[in-house]
Structure 1
Amino acid sequence: MRFKIVPPVPDSPARIETVWKAVPIVPDPEDSCCQRLMADADVPSQDEAKEWLTFCRALKLVEEGPRGYARIRDGYDPAEFPERFRERVYAVPELLAVLADAEEPLSPEVVFDRLRGRVPAWERARTNDWEGTWTRRVERLLEWAVLFGFAERAGDGYRAA
């Protein structure tokens, strides 16, 4: 399973641990988990808390079951995060390939344009601003790729690390 949603990239990878520790060990419904993330991890909004829950699932830090979300006790291994990000977040392998094939740094808009065909048809039909949504998603993916060491910023663009 691949996850599409990623939260805004933090200033430090240590933020991931803060969020992970705020997720309960005993399964709890989404709204309750979001409230905990907002209170205990200083996540600014319920929407962003939902993004963090999804992203933590992608990193194998949180699981979702019939009773809600729960922290995976033995899941926290920062050395595994880059590979989990690449394997479990939608369009990351393709994004990294776009950067690897580029001869010069690429803007998020150019990366999005090269990934346009990867956007599922149902998402294109879901909203009139699917391009804006996906451009913002690509921007976030690029920033996470930088944080995990796959890419680097170069002026106004990004290139493979």
Structure 2
Amino acid sequence: MRLKPVPEPPTDLDALDAFRRAVPLVPGSEDDCCARLRDRRDLADRQAANDWLAFLRALGLARETPRGFVRSDAAATPELVREGLRDGVLLVPETLALLRDASTEEPVTPASLFAATRESVPRHDRARDPKWEATWRERADRLLRWLALVNLAEAVAADAPASEPGYVAGDAA
């Protein structure tokens, strides 16, 4: 199962590991874990904390046990994050395929990623969010930045100052 949440990427993997460390060592309920994440990482609300908890699970940095959620023992290494993104986050395989076909003249942008994956957006997300297109364009932008964080994507210079950032496949792709 691939998860949808893609929170704002941190500046580096040390900051990501701080999110992992905010998840308890002793199993706790989802509410307890979200409250702890919100408090320790200064998140805006419970939804942001819930998205982070789901994302950390997708990356293998947290897990759900019969007694609740716990942090994993694994540190946030580039290899672990790459594997978690590939295996656990919705639309990453499609994005990586687009990046492999991209060039510096025609890089993947958040808009082009959204256009290419638009039909894959779950129907229930379209139905419940009247602004789903903007939501998923923003998700595309965050996803590309996550991929760049672990060298699955590489940012290329935009042609014009107001242009969206563009990406091609990174060294680790």
Counterpart-to-counterpart distance in 2, 1:77 and 1:15: 9
Counterpart-to-counterpart distance in 2, 1:59 and 1:90: 12
Deviation at residue 145 of structure 1 after TM alignment: 0.5
TM-score (norm 1): 0.89
RMSD across aligned positions (CA): 1.7
Within the alignment, does 1:105 sit opposite 2:107 as a pair?
A: yes
| 1:39-75 Cα distance to aligned partner (Å, 9 max, x none) | 3333343322111101110011211245432112x33
Could you tell me which amino acid in structure 2 is paired with residue 139 of structure 1? D
Structure 2: unaligned runs, 5 residues or longer: 159-164
Could you tell me which amino acid in structure 2 is paired with residue 84 of structure 1? G
Aligned ranges for residues 1-161 of structure 1 at < 5 Å?
Answer: 1-72=1-72, 74-76=73-75, 78=77, 79-103=79-103, 104-154=106-156, 155=158, 156-161=165-170
Counterpart-to-counterpart distance in 2, 1:77 and 1:9: 13
Runs of at least 4 residues off by over 6 Å: none
Structure 1: unaligned runs, 5 residues or longer: none
Tell me which moved more, 28-37 or 38-47.
38-47
2:64 match: secondary structure: strand
TM-score (norm 2): 0.84
Preserved contact between residue 17 and residue 76 of structure 2 (Cα < 8 Å): no
Residues 41 and 124 of structure 1: CA distance in aligned 2, closer, same or farther (over 3 Å): closer
Aligned residues: 160
